[in-house]
Amino acid sequence: MTWFPASLRTLRLHLPLLALAATLPTFLLVLLLASRERSAALRHAEAEARMVAGIATREHAHQVLGAQRLLLQLGRGEVHEDIRPLLPGLLKANPALANLGLLDARGRLVYSVVPPATAVDMKDEPAFLGARARPGVAPSVAVGRYRIGEVVHRPILILATTLADNPSEVLYAALDLAWLENLGPQAQLPAGTALFMTDRAGGVLARGGEAVGGPAVGQRLPAWERMAGRGQGMTEAVMPDGRKRLFVAASLPEVPDLFVAVGLPEAAVLREANLAFQRTLVVLAVLLLLTVLGSLVAADVSVLRDLRLLAGATRRFGAGDLQARAPRPATRGEIQDLAAAFNAMAETLARRHGEAQEAQAQLRALSRRLQAAREEEGARISRELHDQLGQDLTALKLAVGALRLKTPEPGLRAGDLDRWCDEAGAQIDAAIDAVRRIAGELRPSVLDRLGLLPALEWLAQEFQRRSGVACRVRAEGLEGALSAEQATAFFRITQEALTNVARHAGAKAVEIALRVDGVQAELCIRDDGRGFGDAVPGGHLGMLGMEERIGLLGGRLQLGRAPQGGAELCAILPRGILPGEDGGHVAHPAGG
């Protein structure tokens, strides 16, 4: 190689050549793995197809067994009455059956739930012959063969039995093949799976799954001889639309002349194997290119290593690890300056994050204290209104009533005095009611005296009286007690939610559900109105206030759709040691 220029007799040339030589065995290994992937894909597809065939056979066996039990129960005379009026209802209750009817001793149809268009004769039907083969023996069910029914005009399986009360008549049931069409959605078959029910000659009796493009009912399934005679493996068949499918076939129990053929699209079966092969080739080509490029820049590997360390620290910091720092590079230069700048930025952000968390904790504590102070002030004003102003108004009403007893002045009619006293008394009563209502809204005494549940029932009664919307309270569990702060939060959230329902929901009924157990306390308000629309927690001032109130106690607020179609708002509190529970408040029993 002395004739090569000196610039080519270097490591920059040798490393790419070595990389190419080392890649050749890898290419051969990829081809081997691709072949194995293809075989594994075919085995997996065969297992899926046989699983589907097993589902179909079990479904068919279940339907045949159900039809046999029904016929035996009717044939043994357990009904003790004429069965003809019962047959229409039984047919309607058993969707797997296409028809129910009675045959005479000669096989002629004497009764059918589905009215026949012409006279029907089943004397050659194997099920009829089997049912009549053993007269005088306890009734048993004979299974016939699939045929196109003369009455329902679609493929059916005939099952028959003699009647114990009237051996001259034969009760028969026609088992429908329509279940095959519904098997796909019910069994969640793999995409593209086609199902065919065939006779021994391969004639299609029914289709199911994604059988579009396959043979129609009455046509013959392609490649049936190879398909029916093959015990293991899959058979490739070309459909009438030109697409290839891989089939397995299995005979149905009780009816050995009937088969279920399961077909999977060949392109879908091999798609994963082909994609894996292509991905491997692409990855191998990329690796080869990276290897060549890496050999050309081997001197810069240390730079890349430092950059990877810095990127890793950046990702950890971005994911929330505020203690992540970039290691100091061994080499001097721009990367070292970049790592130092990143570490300085991380220190600053971590410090600011801590300050923000501390400020947020202080704000939450202040908000909690403000709410407690507001509730205490509301309770004080409520007591003042109820005790002082209410007593004064009551005394005033008594004084007005005393005027009735006074002798009216000359020229003043007694009736006018009575009327003035009545009007004054009505105004005083209205003032007393307003005082009681305002006092109740500021701080209902029932919440402090009886507990949360009676307070919610009082609130529901007041809401129903003012709005005309039916409102009921339902309680479950009620294990243990709630703190005064928790009970107040639930009461205020219910109050705000009912206000929103009255203003915006257009509901006709509201339900308040309270459940308390050893793990958590949950309060849900459900209505049958218009729902929240695009509302989310924190999206409106009312929602923001409820979310903040429940969040201060370590709980959460959830919005959703109620079962009856309206809105559902749930406030959930854990039953642990919550903020405010250790502050000396009196516990409220959940149930009063």
Beta bridge partners of 157: 146, 175
SS3 437: helix
What the block records as the tokens of 52 is 């589907």
Least confident of 52-56, 225-229, 367-371: 367-371
Start-to-end Cα distance in the chain: 100
Top-ranked range on mean pLDDT: pick from 35-49, 91-105, 225-239, 308-322: 91-105
Distances (CA, A) of 38 to 25, 234, 570: 20, 13, 53
**DSSP category for residue 379:** H
Helix ranges (H only) for 522-586 are 541-552
Q: pLDDT of 2-12, one tens digit each? A: 444 544 454 34
What the block records as the tokens of 477 is 């569990």
Q: DSSP assignment of 488-506, as one string?
A: HHHHHHHHHHHHHIIIII-
Domains defined along the chain, listed by start: 63-179 (3.30.450.20), 449-589 (3.30.565.10)
Give me the mean pLDDT over the 465-480 stretch: 84
Contacts of 179 by beta carbon, 8 Å cutoff, 6+ apart: 59, 60, 63, 96
Task: Provide the whole-model pTM.
Answer: 0.38
549 close to 485: Cβ distance less than 8 angstroms: no
The confidence score (pLDDT) of residue 579 equals: 44
Distances (CA, A) of 448 to 24, 279, 434, 437, 487: 84, 70, 21, 16, 9
Q: pLDDT of 333-387, one tens digit each? A: 676 777 778 788 888 888 887 777 776 766 666 566 666 656 665 665 666 566 6
Give me the mean pLDDT over the 479-492 stretch: 81
Exposed e or buried b per residue across 177-215, where buried means at least 16 C-beta atoms within 10 angstroms of its C-beta:
bebbeebbeebebbebbbbbbbbeebbbbbbbbbbeebb
